Chain A
Amino acid sequence: MIAQNVTFWILAAAMVLAAIGVVRSQNVVHAALYLVVVLAGSAAQFILLAAEFVAWVQVLIYIGAVIILFLFGIMLTRAPMRSDTDLDNDQRWPAAVVSLFLLGVLSTLLIQAFGDKEIDISGGHGAELLAQGRAGSLAESIFAAYVVPFELVSMLLLAALVGAVVIARRD
């Protein structure tokens, strides 16, 4: 129990700091690399929550594919590789107020709603949770209960692929 909590807090601190780096960094490439830290940290949190398959999908899709896409986007829009101060607009303070206000509201609400409810990983419950996160149990759920949304998502991916090609192509 204590080991999990220590791991959680180390990961959480790294994730929050890296997330602030994503939104505050004055270098676009550094922001993308900070995003890698956040995404890897959240994959580690998924493993902590015994969601093994989702964690590896997160590493493959987000860190493997999405970040590469971002780096290509940065290169194609020829963003300045050096640091500059032109990446932010002039609504920094209103944005900070809005996000801090929302954070206050959300955390008050969450603490009132869920108090100190525990995720039970003691004894046999931990093994049960691990079995739930395996690829087999997820596949059973995807291809039985959620087979229609799954097919819809594949159609959506196809549409997004064609759409991206059509939008980005030079006529």
Chain B
Amino acid sequence: MVLNQFLVLAAALFCIGIYGVLARRNGVLVLMSVELMLNAVNLNLIAFSAYLREVSGQVFALFVITIAAAEVGVGLAIVLLIYRNLHSPDLDRVDELKG
């Protein structure tokens, strides 16, 4: 297996995630796109761990998975709060600080 096939796949997933973050309006869907990007990073870490025969890459992937879980918990709580205050999960409506 070539190292690059994993890296380019991860890059593709990351870019699709960026598209989702930029183009989605619903808060839950933006969080899903962020998950896509974090997952692409994990794929990179594991591919380098196999290429360099170094176990630290897998340890860091575990840390990323843990932090992604924490991020989703807090993120969904924030989306819930936005929904409760604005009666819609649309992030475009969160513009009270706009001048």
Question: Which A residues form the contact surface with B (CB < 8 A)?
Answer: 1, 4-5, 8, 12, 15-16, 19-20, 22-23, 28, 31-32, 35, 38-39, 42, 45-46, 48-51, 53-54, 57-58, 61-62, 65-66, 69-70, 72-74, 76-79, 86-89, 91-92, 94-96, 98-100, 102-103, 106-107, 110-111, 114-119, 121, 128-129, 132-133, 137-138, 141-142, 145-146, 149, 153, 156-157, 160-161, 163-165, 167-168, 170
The complex places the Cα of A153 from the Cα of B68 at a distance, in Å, of 11
Residues of A within 8 A of B29 (CB): 22-23, 28, 31, 87
Taking a contact as CB atoms under 8 Å apart, the answer to whether B28 and A23 are in contact is no
Residues of B within 8 A of A128 (CB): 53
Taking a contact as CB atoms under 8 Å apart, the answer to whether B81 and A167 are in contact is yes
B 1-45 binary contact with A (CB < 8 Å = 1; else 0) = 111111111011111111110111111110111011001001100
Interface residue range, chain B: 35 or more
Q: Interface residues of B: mostly helix, strand, loop or mixed?
A: helix
Interchain nearest-CB distance for A68 vs B (Å): 10
The complex places the Cα of A89 from the Cα of B28 at a distance, in Å, of 14
Taking a contact as CB atoms under 8 Å apart, the answer to whether B74 and A163 are in contact is yes
Question: Which B residues form the contact surface with A (CB < 8 A)?
Answer: 1-9, 11-20, 22-29, 31-33, 35-36, 39, 42-43, 46-47, 49-51, 53, 55-56, 58-59, 61-63, 65-74, 76-81, 83-84, 89-90, 92
Taking a contact as CB atoms under 8 Å apart, the answer to whether A70 and B76 are in contact is yes
The complex places the Cα of A66 from the Cα of B76 at a distance, in Å, of 11
Interchain nearest-CB distance for A163 vs B (Å): 5
Residues of A within 8 A of B32 (CB): 22, 31-32, 35, 70
Taking a contact as CB atoms under 8 Å apart, the answer to whether A157 and B66 are in contact is yes
Taking a contact as CB atoms under 8 Å apart, the answer to whether B28 and A119 are in contact is no
B66's closest neighbor in chain A, by CB?
A: A153
The complex places the Cα of A39 from the Cα of B43 at a distance, in Å, of 10
